[in-house]
A and B are shown apart, each in its own frame.
Chain A
């Protein structure tokens, strides 16, 4: 080393580079994502109708939610049930499918990925379920059940409280191969093939061991991404219930936190209250994400 100057200049240049590459994103992100989130959080402690200046009410919104809002508690219960079923099942289905599809030839794989991703692309994806479970005798499922003499009269699928929640779960699952699934498909392409050969030399005996010891650890970053996407979509089910069961659904049987939030946010314009619901939903997701992160860290051990 003759002199320290070039090295120092290099570090400065490096810092400059990092700054200019990170700054555009960071500024836009702060202004249009972080700031609105912080404002919403602050609003959850106020009474705000969207027009007048927000009035500070401490924890009133939260107390009201848990102590005197039965629909909220029902929505919380439904959301947790839906998330419990659709989150893990959807996640593992994405993973297994992506893994199986990876074995196919490139062309066939592209076609199959499209098939599984189709419900996420096509706009009116629920329509087909309405057709299948139409509540008159012409709905496909009712027609079949009637013909087999299993029922005497058509079932009101989307207004009978017994069937609403299971149907919502089924439709959500059917649509769950979305963002995370595509990330896993792309991630599997990046797994170094030579690792498999090395693995077999080191004593990997079957495909399951190969998946657990080689593929999954290589896929780690995508596993986390896809888990975050699964959590976010499993907890924010709402559009599906409105499209299938209407809003409000019969006896609030398919009411979710998202429905409750939209009710207060865009119908009643009690923004403070809506923000409190959003904050609770956010807390639930953060907790779930922390657990998922812990589990993913132990993959391949």
Chain B
């Protein structure tokens, strides 16, 4: 069975290395006092804050672009994306680089926490949070006594207006 997997999806298996299922793994990060998570499958790397170059014609939450070893990556400030208060970047601020629909995008977050293995059974997926029809929240994960808000990277990076997380959190 495991051999089959390696044979059919070798590249993926390599990325998986020794872990069981990449779909159940989430990179968690902090924004304000809240803990968020994104599926690790889309994460390509985590880099420290660097010089941002401003570009025109993008929403305010796209702070600009960075040149990451010859790749131009737009940066989204997740606080601003959620309509939360702006906060000065500090030494804990990091950029999580994701590959969403074949295009790179960097998320500016207050700090990364850890990689968690969260089984689907630990995730509550209420049909609707708040009034908005669109939400970047994919579900709430119960990990011990904490709750991690799991985000749908595609919706987050897309254009739609998002309901405020404040309205969503139970």
Please determine whether chains A and B interact with each other in the same assembly: no
